[in-house]
Amino acid sequence: MARMKFLCDEERCIECNACVTACKNEHEVPWGVNRRRVITLDDGLPGEKTISVACMHCSDAPCQAVCPVDCFYTTEDGVVLHDKDLCIGCGYCFYACPFGAPQYPQDGAFGARGKMDKCTFCAGGPEQDHSEEEFKKYGRNRLAEGKLPLCAEMCSTKALLAGDADMVADIFRERVVRRAGNDNPDLQRQPQGKPWGWETAYKEG
């Protein structure tokens, strides 16, 4: 059984925001809702890092734990989904989520928020796969089509990885091993400095 995971390699992400756009387009999410967003820390400064974030489909999901109507469920693939028919728009999942994943179409007085919307790992919702209702409420169900989330599939630098946790971990581990030269003191002692990274690219130090 697969255990689906996202992983964003912050050494590769180039802040192109294509994942955000692709997600919006694929799922036709309401205006104002962004299931995925790209955040740059230390923007324009040495050590700048960019990462793409959405629902991380937690094993012990805080949203699931605090939902007063218990509308969340975890699929067999480890994807955290929710039932919009049960959702009352109370905002608790939004308080609890570390990643700011749950969002609401409204932000009105008297706590009127509408039904919560978040990343579905392109796995739709509780409705019949590929049905009109499923698409309207949750967007496309790519997993049921045998495809992975679009944000990761179209990522140009393959910074954003999505899929079975073991495979994602293997890919990332391989990358880290190749990059390990950076942490190798023998290589660091060479005159050109570290083999790769910000310091090397901008000739820092």
Partner 1 sequence: MMTQVQKASFWRILSAFALMLVLLAISGTLRAHEGERHELHKAESVVNPRSDYWRQVREGVQGYTAVKGQETNVLIQGGGQNWRRLRNGPIASYGGVLLGVVVFALGAFYLWRGQVKLSQPRSGETLVRWTLAERVLHWYTALLFIFLAITGLSLLYGRALLIPLVGHKAFSVYAEIAKLLHNFIGPLFIVGLLLMFVAWVRDNLPSRIDIDWLRAFGGMVGDRHPSAGRMNAGEKMWFWLLASGGLVVSVSGLLLDFPNFGQERWLLQLSHLIHVVFALVLMAGALGHIYIGTIGTEGALEGIVRGRVDKSWAIQHHDLWCEQLAADESGSSVPDRPPLPETSHIAS
Taking CB under 8 A as the criterion, the residue among 1, 76, 109, 201 binding partner 1 is 109
Q: Which is nearer to partner 1, 95 or 196 (CB)?
A: 95
Map residue 58 onto helix, strand or coil. coil
Measured CA to CA, the distance from residue 41 to residue 3 in angstroms comes to: 29
Does 13 help bind partner 1 (rule: CB under 8 A)? no
CA atoms within 13 A on the CB side of 136: 7
* Residue 53 binds partner 1, judged by CB under 8 A: yes
Closest CA to 143 of 47, 45, 73, 76: 76
CB-nearer residue toward partner 1: 43 or 166? 43
- Site membership for partner 1, residue 38 (CB under 8 A): yes
Is residue 28 a contact partner of residue 115, using CB atoms and an 8 Å limit? no
End-to-end CA distance of the chain: 47
Q: Which of 25, 59, 86, 128 binds partner 1 (CB under 8 A)?
A: 86
* 164 near partner 1, rule: CB under 8 A: no
| Interface with partner 1, residue 125, by CB under 8 A | no
Question: Is the CB of 43 or the CB of 129 nearer to partner 1?
Answer: 43
Count the alpha carbons within 13 Å of 12 in the hemisphere toward its beta carbon: 15
Nearest to partner 1 of 65, 167 (CB atom)? 65
**Interface with partner 1, residue 200, by CB under 8 A:** no
H or E element at residue 77: none
- What sign does the dihedral 155-47-174-61 (CA atoms) show? negative
Provide the binding-site residues for partner 1, judged by CB under 8 A: 10, 17, 20, 32, 34, 37-43, 47, 49, 51, 53, 62, 65-71, 83, 85-91, 94-100, 107-113, 183-185
